[in-house]
Amino acid sequence: MSAIPFDNSYARLPERFFARVDPTPVPAPRLIALNRGLAETLGIDPDWLAGPEGVAALAGNAVPPGAEPIATAYAGHQFGHLVPQLGDGRAILLGEVVDRGGTRRDVQLKGAGPTPFSRRGDGRAALGPVLREYIVSEAMAALGIPTTRALAAVATGAGVVRERLLPGAILTRIARSHIRVGTFQYFAIRRDTEGVKQLADHVIARHYPAAAESGQPYRALLAAVIDRQAALVAQWLCVGFIHGVMNTDNMAVAGETIDYGPCAFLDAYDPATVFSAIDEAGRYAYGNQPAIAQWNLARLAEALLPLLAPETEAAIAVAQDLLAGFVPRFEAAYHGGLRRKLGLATAREDDVALANGLLEIMTANRADFTLTFRRLGAAADPAADGGVRDLFIDPTAYDAWNGRWRERLAAEPRPAGERRAAMDAANPAVIPRNHRIEAVIAAAVEHDDFGPFAELTTVLAKPFEEQAAFAAYADPPEESERVHRTFCGT
């Protein structure tokens, strides 16, 4: 019996959906991090994973029994430009497991060597991007945001050439699936309607079984994906997350955050913020993310057109009607999140204007996004207003808004302790601050020191708690520490 209980449904699809390829062995694998709690949830013995056989599997040096390694095929719009063939160029799907909760999950090695889709790349990953994805994906999970997870990180003992020679590593990524909008596009571009249908049937069975009970299952599928993406992007905005590269091949139809390349979190609030060094035009700026998500969903709808109605015009009308639902669904989720962040338990028509008023003065005053909302929890007591005022260049701007906020709070009196607890549960004390991530990467890459990585992941596992021993992790960066650009790990 395999130490990893594989049950591989995607590998049973037709061969044109993927390429069968084994990982390429590495010279000196060394376990950097193992997510023991996640391993147990997956039904995998963490002690086995930490041992020689497990590390060999995580490094790609041995294919465990039951695995069927494949690189999946997909296309995608990259920065608005269609690329007909992309595919897993440095990732290999070992297989799938059904976790203890009954959910099917992919087990993928990222950085495991070249595949037929590598496009002249080496198929490897540098240590820095592996650590970034491990840190941020696990932080997102702790924040309650749907995301791929990090099971393990392994150093390979070999260098990879990027701007310079860097230590190599492999991330073991867990996902509800790695099926993307671009996966549907791959078959649609080839006019492979049967492939689109087989993929849609697989996604319905795996992620949206209720759609199968609908009289129009493919319409129900598109509607369900739209709902999940609207909710997901709203959650991103509520914690100040910027994906950085929202190409259609980086949008998972299961509704999870996937592919943490040049991602980053806001320090000072500004909806025009861009960190990704490859996003020169600001296409994927923080405030653009809802519109981009809707644009990406339109590309999914295009791929599904043959399944939505027999006639093209009728299919387009169905797609347009479903896509029109994105904005109200996003706004309901986002505005609900803002109300919770402001300590409001009921909904009133002017709440959105109240929230937007705060965001506007935060932008004008370069106020820190995370700290402003976290300190508002204490500021529900007027005596504690100083902690928020100090974040504004012009504190009187906050004072003017504060008066409106207090009037609104008075309209729904609740015990102070209850309101504070609700606000603290909606407003994290710590996030993966960009300067902290960069410091962790520098320590690991330059000095082979993983102590900062271990400490940061420990702190981020409890983002809503006040952790006195790690209070400095809540602080925004000094000007000299501020990160202005993040880079894709490819």
3-state DSSP call for residue 32?
strand
For residue 425, the tally of other CB atoms under 10 A from its CB is 12
Eight-class DSSP state of 449: -
DSSP conformation letters of 138-189:
HHHHHTT--B-EEEEEEEEEEEEESSSEEEEEEEEEEES---BHHHHHHHHH
Task: Report which of 206, 234, 235, 210 is spatially closest to residue 223, judged by C-alpha positions.
Answer: 210
Residues 6+ apart with CB under 8 A from 199: 13, 17, 179, 183, 184, 187
Q: Rounded to 5 degrees, what are φ and ψ at 480?
A: -70, -20
H-only helix segments in 411-472: 416-426, 434-447, 451-460
How far CA 227 is from CA of 145, 329, 333, 395, in Å, comes to 15, 7, 10, 39
Q: How far is it, in rounded angstroms, from Cα 475 to Cα 82?
A: 41
Structure tokens at 324: 């029109």
Q: Which helix (H) or strand (E) holds 242?
A: strand 241-242
Residue ranges of alpha helices (H) inside 384-415 are 386-389, 395-410
User: Residue 249 catalytic?
Assistant: yes
* Residue 343: both structure tokens together: 């300590």
By DSSP bridging, strand 165-175 and strand 18-20 are: unpaired
Which candidate in 88, 106, 227, 249 is catalytic?
249
What phi and psi, each to the nearest 5 degrees, are found at residue 257?
Answer: -70, 130
Which helix (H) or strand (E) segment holds residue 294: the answer is: helix 289-308
C-alpha 141/C-alpha 41 separation (Å) is 14
What is the tally of helices (H) and strands (E) in the chain? 18, 12
Token pair of 213 as six digits: 């009970």
- Annotated catalytic sites, by residue? 249
